[in-house]
Copies of this chain bind each other. A is one copy, B any other.
Amino acid sequence: MIGRLNHVAIAVPDLARATARYRDQLGARVGEPQALPEHGVTVVFVDTGNSKVELLEPLGEASPITAFLEKNPAGGMHHICFEVDDIEASARRLVETGARILGDGTPRIGAHGNPVLFLHPKDFDGTLIELEEVPA
């Protein structure tokens, strides 16, 4: 079912500083900040060639990463995203095997414009897992 590791998301308190660390200290290829107000984050993509790191800073009042940063003020790894080719089929299999999908239990459109869902971290060893449907 799951395919490629699409990205690892890291919540950061200061996106400019985090971007500078990846660019100047780690010598990574980093993009420009992109504000995604409908997702409550500003994101910078770090291109590792085979995958991506997404540096996320809260944007707006209802950011989904605000609570995480309150608990982890220095930042930290927030979630990991795997690609699937049929998110509805994936959702059915997961629910049938006892996994909980966050929110109303149905896929929604994610930050890349593709359908996504998030699985309850308690069902996967304390790890927040995103599944993203990526056209083959």
Which residues of A line the B interface, CB within 8 A? 1-5, 8, 10-13, 18, 21, 24-28, 48-53, 55, 72, 74-77, 80, 82, 93-94, 97-99, 121-127, 129
A5 and B51 contacting across the interface, CB-CB below 8 Å: yes
Whether A125 pairs with B12 at a CB distance below 8 angstroms is yes
A22, chain B: closest CB distance, angstroms: 8
User: Which of A21, A77, A82 gathers the greatest number of chain B CB atoms within 10 Å?
Assistant: A77
**Copies of this chain, tallied across the complex:** 2
Contacts of A74 in B (CB 8 A): 121-122, 125-126
CB <8 Å contact, A21 and B72: no
* A129 CA / B75 CA spacing, docked (Å): 13
Who on chain B is nearest to A13 by CB?
B125
How far is B10's CA from A4's CA once the two chains are assembled, in angstroms?
17
Q: Which residues of B contact A5 (CB under 8 A)?
A: 5, 8, 48, 50-53
Complex contact B8–A27 (CB within 8 A) = no
Top-10 shortest CB links A-B: A1-B27, A75-B125, A76-B126, A74-B126, A75-B126, A77-B77, A5-B48, A5-B51, A12-B125, A50-B50
- Within the complex, the shortest CB–CB distance from A37 to chain B, in Å, comes to 22
Smallest Cβ distance from A31 to chain B, in angstroms?
15
